[in-house]
Amino acid sequence: AQSVTQLDSQVPVFEEAPVELRCNYSSSVSVYLFWYVQYPNQGLQLLLKYLSGSTLVKGINGFEAEFNKSQTSFHLRKPSVHISDTAEYFCAVSDRAGRRALTFGSGTRLQVQP
């Protein structure tokens, strides 16, 4: 079984400031890691994913994330946020061997202020 913990339920930040959204996971097997974004009244959109290889993954809209196996973390970062980045962000895992479905964290609400 897997679980995902997003340590911050809300992150307020000023426009053009950097941001980090934290994600830790627990799993008895190797996993794939994902970050999804949900804009108000919309479905989820994939930001980026880690499958293998380089631990630094770049995604859409200037976001990147770093996989840290020893700390079982997959934190999401952006060097300079925009008002349009205001949304809910979900970290998710799926196991490599069997179950294909995603296990999601509880989400982090990013609020970008002018």
Partner 1 sequence: DSGVTQTPKHLITATGQRVTLRCSPRSGDLSVYWYQQSLDQGLQFLIQYYNGEERAKGNILERFSAQQFPDLHSELNLSSLELGDSALYFCASSGRTGPMDEQYFGPGTRLTVT
Binding region for partner 1 (CB under 8 A): 32, 36, 42-46, 49, 51, 90, 94-97, 99-107
Task: Give the C-alpha distances (Å, rounded to integers) separating 6 from 54, 89, 90, 105, 114.
Answer: 23, 9, 8, 6, 25
CB of 68 to partner 1, least distance (A): 19
Q: Which DSSP symbol is given to 62?
A: G
89 closest CA partner among 46, 59, 27: 46
Smaller CB separation from partner 1, 98 or 114: 98
Smaller CB separation from partner 1, 13 or 32: 32
CB of 18 to partner 1, least distance (A): 27
CB of 36 to partner 1, least distance (A): 8
74 closest CA partner among 49, 53, 52: 49
